[in-house]
Chains A and B, each alone.
Chain A
Amino acid sequence: MALTDVRFRWPGRASFMLSVADFRLAQGETVLMLGESGSGKSTLLSLICGTVQPDAGTILVAGADLSDLSGAGRDRFRAERIGVIFQQFNLLPFGTVSDNILLPLRFAPQRRKRAGAAQAAARTLCADLGLPYGILAAKAATLSVGQQQRVAVARALIGQPPLVIADEPTSSLDAGSQAAFLDLMFAQVAASRASLLMVSHDPRLGARFDRVVRIEDIATIDRRAA
């Protein structure tokens, strides 16, 4: 993944501009991005995921220039190539665990092919993430927060997308659960040979990653721009 000379302004918010001169992520690399609230992390993730378009510059993900793609093309690309884990409220509460894990495959035919027997793949991922047998049929709303986060990891990894983005996935877990969760997530990301970009404000997590970057080192936010 490579961001070069990217500039972005939210529509209708002329006083905020994010600029990224150069930021790269190698295949299979794990990077922790540290930044405080309001430092532009979410905006950067939206740009990488293609839900918003930069005003200038290029964003290359898995060999594709996102600015060459239409809105629908970027949505499809995201479904095919990127697994996303939120910090909380990751799952559709009314869906089953199976529904939630298989959801991205609904929008990504190639990823669906890569996943093979989708139910079996989901079952294997759940087992590898230490989730109880039979959890696939459970309603997401009935799971503990820790279980929900692990289901979110399974969903991000099914069909082996080359890039996994995690937005503070441990913030809603206690310290003991955090370590166990990260162990499981790292093992699975490594097994699928995906790159991992995780955003957090906790520098203590840095030791687990190949590289730690601070958002202010790679991005500039101009709040006075008009």
Chain B
Amino acid sequence: MILRLAVASLGARVLTVAMTVLAIALSVALFLGVEKVRTGAKASFADTISGTDLIVGARSGSVQLLLYSVFRIGNATNNVTWESYQDIAARPEVDWIVPISLGDSHRQFRVMGTSTAFFERYKYRQGRALAVSDGAIMADLFDAVIGADVAATLGYAVDDPIIVAHGLASFTEHKDQPFRISGILEKTGTPVDRTVIVSMEAIEAIHVDWRGGAQIPGQSTPVETIRQMDLTPQAVTAALVGIDSPLQTFALQRAINEYPEEPLLAVLPGVALQELWAIVGVAETALLGVSAMVVVTALIGMMATIFSSLNERRREMAIFRAMGARPATILGLLVLEAMLMAAIGALLGLVLLYLGLVVAQPMVDAAFGLWLPIDAPSMREVWVLLGVVAAGAVVSLVPAFRAYKLSLADGMMVRT
């Protein structure tokens, strides 16, 4: 009966209660949303590369190597010579190795030179392989495969010609060596979607007339001549390495890091990601802290609402007291009401979160390549919701204790 009366009491103040519940719901949706984006971003980053045991590049920082080689963020400080690459490829621990050559671009998208092994070895989201949605992977020297976002943003189709620009954000283009789009990849939710992929030889081919980062004045080698040239790469930006046995990973990593011919760095993608999380952890914690404060603010709003209603509810409390209710019952009733409001707010927040996810998921994916999964609430989220209800009970103790004291002072006779 007390629960029914608590519900009825809330119903009698439906407008203020609805506003309070809405504030709690929005704050809970924000908090859980931040948490979803945070875990979604982590999962997206972690899912970007799967099945690669080591990433090898010129010696710099492990996070920097991870960012430029996998996420196309930032630039390499140096290249790895083709001889070193061959040395590593020839090591017995190495099961497979895929070269990556970065540095050029097309419009706002990075151009990546690699071998066809990239399409077999690159895995994302727990081992999913790349797939071509239209056309085929590179067969000709001047074929290019583009990611889904490149195709969608620039409106490209198979057989369309594209011209690669030298460097990033450069006005100098390799106009004399146009590429043909041979294939478009299916959407992956990884940086591959925003990459133009060509062969390693093609990267060499478009730079035959270039020395020291600048085009040799007056020199323009015809494409047919280039096709006859030895286009063995001079260097690679990085390499993805698969190892025969996981037991050999650290031994190979140490060997590469101590490679005597040139300073190299080999990193485990998972470890580098952990370092990255450690760097962004402060901002992440701050964001969570701010959204948690929004929840606290909403709960304090609820406390203020209960406080402001106390005076007009003294008659109600007097009736309860006259019927034999103890002051502790009055206190319990107010806490119960607060918990009901917090629980309804928390559940409504969860509903708002899922509605928001349904609406925002494709937009966030398209805009940021960030895939926010719509899963059943996790145990962590359930604990958050229970925590909100518990916090609601705690903050309501302040007005509830005031009601307790009022009901002791008033008894069953309200002097209003």
- A interface residues (Cβ-Cβ under 8 A, vs B): 42-43, 45-46, 49, 51-52, 71-72, 75-76, 78-80, 84, 86, 89-96, 99, 102-104, 106-108, 141, 155, 167
- Nearest 9 pairs between A and B by C-beta? A79-B324, A51-B411, A107-B324, A94-B12, A94-B8, A104-B323, A84-B322, A42-B413, A75-B326
CB atoms of A76 and B324 under 8 A apart: yes
- Which residue on A lies nearest to B407, using beta carbons? A51
Q: Which of B1, B321, B322 contacts A102 (CB 8 A)?
A: B1
By a CB distance below 8 angstroms, the chain A residues around B281 are: none
Main secondary structure of the interface of A (DSSP, over half): helix
User: Which of B11, B315, B316, B324 interacts with A108 by CB under 8 Å?
Assistant: B324
**7 additional contacts, CB 8 Å, given A71-B326, A79-B324, A92-B9?**
A51-B411, A86-B318, A92-B5, A92-B316, A94-B8, A96-B8, A99-B4
Q: In the complex, A93 Cα to B321 Cα: how many Å?
A: 16
Nearest-neighbour CB distance to chain A for B319, whole angstroms, equals: 6
List the interface of chain B (C-beta within 8 A of A). 1-2, 4-5, 8-9, 11-12, 315-316, 318-329, 411-413
- A155 and B11 alpha carbons, distance in the complex (Å): 23
Contact of A104 among B2, B324, B326, B411 (CB under 8 A): B324
Contact between A46 and B411, CB atoms less than 8 A apart = yes
Q: Which residues of B contact A102 (CB under 8 A)?
A: 1
Q: Which of B2, B315, B327, B413 has the most CB of A within 10 A?
A: B413
Measured between beta carbons, the chain A residues less than 8 angstroms from B319 are 86, 89-92, 103
Taking the closest CB of chain A, its distance from the CB of B316, in whole angstroms, is 6
Residues of A within 8 A of B316 (CB): 92
Q: Are B1 and A99 in touch, CB under 8 angstroms?
A: yes
A107 to B413, CA, bound (A): 19
CB-nearest residue of chain A to B414? A89
> Known: A75-B326, A107-B324. Contact between A45 and B1, CB under 8 A?
no
Distance in Å: Cβ of B225 to nearest Cβ of chain A? 91
21 contacts between A and B (CB under 8 A): A46-B412, A51-B412, A52-B411, A71-B326, A72-B326, A72-B328, A75-B321, A75-B325, A75-B326, A76-B324, A79-B324, A84-B412, A86-B318, A89-B319, A92-B8, A92-B319, A94-B9, A95-B5, A103-B320, A104-B323, A107-B329
Q: Tell whether A94 pairs with B11 under 8 Å between CB atoms, given A51-B411, A86-B322.
A: yes
Contacts of B5 in A (CB 8 A): 92, 94-95, 99
| Contact status B325-A49, CB under 8 Å | no
Residues in B neighbouring A79, C-beta threshold 8 A = 323-325
Closest Cβ–Cβ distance, residue A102 to chain B (whole Å): 7
